[in-house]
Structure 1
Amino acid sequence: MHKYIFLLAITFATTGCVSFQPTKLDIQPTTNAKLVVTDNRSQNQKETEMLSYIITNCDYGIQRLGDEWTIPNKVEFLKSQISKNFPETQDLVIDTFVIYNNMQYQLREGNIYRGPIWSAFECNEATDRFTMYTPEENPERQNMLIGTFEGSIDGKQYSARAAEIPTCPQGMDECNGLVARDNAIKKILENIVSQIR
């Protein structure tokens, strides 16, 4: 199990060095011609970045997954779903819409300098609310993807968060890291949409 988790971490961390395979999302074309999307996200939320490679840094082992991680990108997916769920809506404002891959614990476990002291370094207030998980969500501290949406629909504010440990899709006993990642991303996006009601 730990070997699989480590390989998944390497799959994420070295994406730029291998053939990139984004998650393919199944969406229906929007039929709501009135819906206008205002994307207020900061530029960095749209871009992939490994927050830190320095093991003593609070952001070590945490990767932000940019818009290119899905086809079509997650904003188009959200627009399609909101159009379907709110056929009369006219205004979708996106303030935050981001997915992070928290590999921190597993990567520190694989480092020869690991030890109890590292728990004190998971402390970045700027990103913690987007990147951290609870002991109840992830008792074994496996790699976990965490997605967050904050915004409004026709002036009504919404906030949604979803977290998933990459695993094989239901009914599939074995799969590789890419399939598990795709499954987690899809489940996160579907969960976020289900909270926007």
Structure 2
Amino acid sequence: MKKFAIILSLLLTACASAPKATHIDMPGADLSTSVSVTDLRPASEKENKIFSLLISSDGYGIYRKGDNTLDPPITQLFRRSSYERLGMNDDASSSITIHHLVVYLNAKSQLRRGAMFAALGGPIGAAIGAGTSKPITTGISQSVIGRDAFEKSQDNEYERAFFTEAENPQRASVFVIYIDATIRGKRVSVKSMSMASAPEGKNAYSIAVQSAIDYYLSQYTASEQTEQAGRR
């Protein structure tokens, strides 16, 4: 029953017209405000979206999480993390350009399973259906991606939240986050997938966002080090 309640909560949060923002604590003074950020994201990436409420649709159970679902906004989190991890300053060479920074929630499999059992046995059946899933042990899938494939998927945007059997064998609900940004003239694009459930007292959404940002910065640093080694 508890698992079904979590799934239902995810659905209600995604459907709400003015969802309560998830707060992420940022202790200490934010010195990153001096860093110039150019946000080139399509307007749609900043908005909430339910791709389909029709259970037979490929877009069912997939949602885009808008900027208003995080406090502070995801762009501010990205700027501060970049500033602190990369030792940025306020000169022009330390500017940030964000091409894509978007979060999707894919709860399709668990919602379909709950809906099927609900149809068979009402709320009790739904709870039983949710309870039949195995304990979630899937970790995080992260990778550097090509920009062309991401941008070409605009027509069926919900497909960006799809996962493979290898990435998520238990078909658990996941956050899928894309970051495509240029820092100090270097552009890096990554995809990060993280569980939509977390231990008690933890927030899965905030964990997913911070993990995605940390992964982006690790790949940016690795790319920068490789270029420096090549110039020696």
> 2 CA distance for matches of 1:148 and 1:131?
10
Say how many residue pairs are matched.
Answer: 180
Partner Cα distance (2:74, 2:18) in 1? 22
Q: Is 2:81 aligned against 1:92? A: no
| 1:27-80 deviations in Å (ceiling 9; x for gaps) | 6513473x3111111111111121111122221100111112221111001111
Q: CA deviation at 1:166?
A: 2.8
Unaligned runs of 5+ in 2: 120-152, 222-232
Q: 1:77 — aligned with what? A: 77
Q: Could you tell me the TM-score, scaled by structure 2's length?
A: 0.66
**C-alpha contact (below 8 Å) 1:25/1:186 kept by paired residues:** no
Equivalent residue for 1:101, pick from 102, 105, 120? 105
Q: TM-score, normalised by structure 1?
A: 0.77
What amino acid is the match of 1:92?
A: I
| Structure 1 residue 180, shift from structure 2 partner | 3.6
Are the structure 2 counterparts of residues 19 and 155 from structure 1 closer, same or farther at C-alpha, using a change threshold of 3 Å?
closer
Distance 1:157 1:53, change over 3 A: same
Percent of aligned pairs sharing the same letter:
22
Bigger helix fraction? 2
Helix, strand or coil for the counterpart of 2:203?
helix
2:176 to 125, 140, 146: 146
The aligned runs of 1:8-19 (5 Å cut-off) are: 8-15=6-13, 16=16
Cα RMSD for the two superposed structures:
2.9
Which segments of 5 or more consecutive residues in structure 1 lack a partner in the other structure?
115-122, 170-174
Matches within 5 A, 1:1-197: 3-15=1-13, 16=16, 20-26=20-26, 28-31=29-32, 33=34, 35-84=35-84, 85-88=86-89, 89-112=93-116, 126-127=156-157, 130-169=160-199, 175=200, 179-197=203-221
Aligned to 2:192, the other structure's residue is in SS state: strand
Pick the structure with greater CA Rg. Answer: 2
Residues 13 and 73 (structure 1), Cα distance of their counterparts in 2 relative to 1, 3 Å cut: same
Alpha-carbon separation, structure 2, partners of 1:106 and 1:55: 12
